[in-house]
Amino acid sequence: MFFSRLRLLLLPFSWLYGLIMVVRNLLFDFKLLKSVRYPFPVISVGNITVGGTGKTPLAEYIIGLIGSFNHVALLSRGYGRQTKGVLFANSSSTYLDIGDEPLQIKQKFDNLTVVVAEKRVKGMECLTDLSFPPSVVVMDDAYQHRYVSAGLSILVCDYNRPLWSDYTFPAGNLREPRQGKKRSDIVIVNKCPIDFTKNEAVEVQDKLRLRSNQHLFFTAIKYGEPLRLDGKERGENSFRRALEKQGFFIVAFAGIGNPSPFFDMVDKYADKLVTMRYRDHYRYREEDLSVIEKAGEGRALYVTTEKDGVRLKSLKGITSKEASRIWYFPVEPFFLFNRGAQFDKLVKDYVGTD
């Protein structure tokens, strides 16, 4: 009740913010604000809803899809970093240098060129000035960054937080009015239940009201094999053996936009589960590990997300004992209704990869 009243009070500010965003988009549409085009494919992956919709795993999926045949670069803002300006990632970069999401992707694709920049045009200029410039650029979290023109725009939505029942910030969680979805070439409704039916998909499609030339896909979260934070063990069997030693007691902690699906997944492993939430991109401290350890009563197995794992690895105060008791699960999108090949073809056809 309190939240509903608060949201009602904030609605005038949301209308004002929404109007500003509408005017901004119209300025781009009528070319009064310049959007720069580049002579190579640019793929934008982003969202309208604030918080975790699953755009970074999708960016990873796309890079893996086209990276073997193209010189791909990732351009990101690098949210949460402590640096400024344009910065290229290297082998010694930490999440404080380039942000946790770019670092996560860089660690998976060692040969990938990763650049972070608040102003995407500046980042693109640095990429084009390289002696060996990329043949394809993937922009992560770039749906509202229209100064760079993307040839293929992909909008990722959260099934659990539908656009049609939300409001713009601050009364709601939308970065711009929901009609902004019309700019996308592909819309992906992510985090669907694994048993999501075609009838339910039709209901969502009707509510989204997309244009006829937009492509709609539904995806669920697919968790990969668990990995121990220190890198010394991996795989389902190893994880279950470690869990059995701890009496099937898990402390699951996460500093991501929407950790509920992650907690639901972990709950399937545990006889006893304690969950701990931190804000998105949370910067862990040594004292946080003490609190987490205490929640496990000194005998639990500790499980977190891949993005949290990236940040924890950069924590100087973490001990080898603590790292040996923390596991994390990588994630990737799983295309429902056997439509993954259709998505792959759309991306490859745009990039020019056979």
Look up tokens 């693109």; give the residue.
124
**CA dihedral in degrees (154, 158, 164, 169; nearest 10)?**
-90
CA distance 100 to 105: 9
45-85 residue pLDDT tens: 999 998 778 899 999 999 999 999 899 999 999 998 999 99
- Answer yes or no: are the C-beta atoms of 6 and 172 closer than 8 Å: no
**318's tokens:** 């973490």
Q: What pLDDT is attached to residue 290?
A: 93
Q: What pLDDT is attached to residue 9?
A: 87
| pLDDT mean across residues, the chain | 94
Return the DSSP state at 337: G
Look up tokens 């402590």; give the residue.
82
CA distance 224 to 305: 11
104-133 residue pLDDT tens: 999 999 899 999 999 999 999 999 999 999
- Answer yes or no: are the C-beta atoms of 351 and 41 closer than 8 Å: yes
Q: Which residues contact 190 (CB under 8 A, 6 or more apart)?
A: 53, 54, 58, 156, 157, 158, 159, 219, 220, 221, 333
Residues 13-51, buried b or exposed e (16+ Cβ, 10 A)?
A: ebeebbeebeeebeeeeeeeeeeeebebbbbbbbbbbbe
Is the pLDDT at 2 greater than 70? The verdict is: no
Look up tokens 């060129």; give the residue.
113
Taking alpha carbons only, the member of 239, 237, 265 closest to residue 252 is 265
Query: Which residue stretches of 109-235 are H helix?
Result: 120-128, 198-208
How many helices and strands in the chain, by DSSP H and E?
A: 12, 14
**3-class SS of residue 86:** coil
- Answer yes or no: are the C-beta atoms of 116 and 87 closer than 8 Å: yes
Q: What pLDDT is attached to residue 5?
A: 75
Is the pLDDT at 354 greater than 70? The verdict is: no
- Answer yes or no: are the C-beta atoms of 250 and 266 closer than 8 Å: yes
282-326 residue pLDDT tens: 999 999 999 999 999 988 999 999 999 999 998 888 999 999 999
Question: What are the φ and ψ backbone dihedral angles of 347, each rounded to 5 degrees?
Answer: -70, -45
What percent of the chain is modeled with pLDDT above 70? 99
Q: What pLDDT is attached to residue 110?
A: 86
Is the pLDDT at 94 greater than 90? The verdict is: yes
75-93 residue pLDDT tens: 999 998 999 999 999 989 9
Q: What pLDDT is attached to residue 257?
A: 83
Taking alpha carbons only, the member of 271, 277, 318 closest to residue 299 is 271
- Answer yes or no: are the C-beta atoms of 274 and 251 closer than 8 Å: yes
